[in-house]
Amino acid sequence: MLDLLDNITWHSLSGPHARFSAGGAAARRYARGFSPILGFADPVRPDFDALRAHCDVGESFYTDGWAGTPPRDWSVKVETTMFKMVWDAPMPREDPAADAMPLGEPHAAQAVALAQLTHPGPFALRTIELGEYFGYLEDGRLVAMAGERMQGGAFHEISGVCTHPDQQGRGFARRLMLKLVGRQMRRGKTPFLHVMRDNARARELYQRMGFREYRESVVRVIERMA
């Protein structure tokens, strides 16, 4: 069952998030306004031609699990790896973030600003529509958030986890994540997440919380050149 995570982007874009995507049977992208991510039915031999009508020249996207040579009209701008981690602990007995606020469209601009400041991963104005998002506001300012993104089968991703630098060390991220873990597990889902290879601090936190590493995969930022 875990092998579903090997190509979770495609399973999400062609399944639960099809209504938020553009493309066809071989390749899809999250629609403009959502996180700039591509998914392929065959990530080993991705069909970039199938995306030509859906991606503009100059647009950049994240891809997961593809390490081949790019077509002539695409360029690899960044290449690294990330870890896929899966929840492997009992359901939290209580909600440690019962005081967190549900986030929606009125908070979208602040959510984007916080993501641009802290770089939790690809994030755009409509990303918070992809699942439940919760956050902490102080004096009307969003200082921490966490939410949901990709899903497929029994798996549901926790994503967009970030805290304003001025507010770090107060446990916001951990509390918000455990809130989401509990809510997902009560729906019969298995929480998972992605964490970049160089973010050792976050990886250690997630391991202490109850996530275990499933695999390391290539992640790229690519740009359509022509």
pLDDT tens readout for residues 170-201 = 999 999 999 999 999 999 999 999 999 999 99
How high is the pLDDT of residue 1?
A: 85
Neighbour tally for 158: CB within 10 Å: 27
**Confidence (pLDDT) at 71:** 94
Closest CA to 100 of 194, 157, 163, 150: 163
- pLDDT per residue as tens digits for the range 148-162: 999 999 999 999 999
pLDDT in the model for residue 16 = 98
Q: Which residues pair with 38 in a beta bridge?
A: 29
Pair 148, 132: CB distance under 8 Å: yes
Within 10 A of 99 (CB to CB), how many other CB atoms are there?
A: 10
Asked whether 16 and 130 are in contact (CB, 8 A), the reply is no
- Set out the domains of the chain in order of their start, with CATH numbers: 2-81+219-224 (no CATH), 85-216 (3.40.630.30)
Distance, in Å, from the CA atom of 121 to the CA atom of 12, rounded to the nearest integer, reads 17
> For the segment 104-160, what is each residue's pLDDT rounded down to a tens digit?
999 999 999 999 999 999 999 999 999 999 999 999 999 999 999 999 999 999 999
pLDDT band at 95 (very low <50, low <70, confident <90, very high): very high
**Model confidence band, residue 79 (pLDDT cutoffs 50, 70, 90):** very high
pLDDT grade, residue 52 (50/70/90)? very high
